[in-house]
Amino acid sequence: MKPTLLLPALLLALAATPIAHAQKPMNCTLGFEMSGWSAFYKTSSGTGTVSCTDGKRLAVKISSKGGGFTFGKSRIADGRGEFTGLRDIEDVLGTYVTAEAHAGAVRSTKAQVMTKGDVSLALAGKGEGWDVGVAFGKFTISR
């Protein structure tokens, strides 16, 4: 290409390239309820609402499935979660990898941290039931 045509071609290419706007990380929380059971295989499900500081809200379904050395039955009535690494409320949707150790009888508390790529979720909740064990699995948030 001739030098006199190189500069206009470069300027045209730059003009056609979309400019990425850096988005600020979002602060979002999850309020949820869920119940489930375990006997080597662990499963639980429930519903929740994701609320962000920018006013956006998203009603979600949640489920947790996995396995390990685990036995019990439990219900979380007032669970809370905090997300990090979000750029959009839609980033909360998907499957997170989990690992947990748990033990509780009658009234118990539980805390767990999980990840999905750049997004992390820290959960805490109070509930009732009984459970004991170590489990690995997945935690899924969907519409």
Local confidence pLDDT in tens for the 143 residues of the chain:
554 444 444 344 444 444 444 567 789 999 999 999 888 888 999 999 999 999 999 999 999 998 887 888 888 888 999 999 999 999 999 999 987 766 666 666 677 889 999 999 999 888 788 777 777 889 999 99
pTM beyond 0.75: the answer is: yes
Residues 40/70, Cβ–Cβ less than 8 Å = yes
Parallel, antiparallel, or unpaired for β 28-52 and 94-116? Answer: unpaired
Note whether 124 and 85 are within 8 A (CB). no
Could you state, in order of their start, the residue ranges of all structural domains in the chain? 24-142
- Out of 1.25.40, 3.30.70, 2.40.128, 2.60.290, the CATH code matching 24-142 is 2.40.128
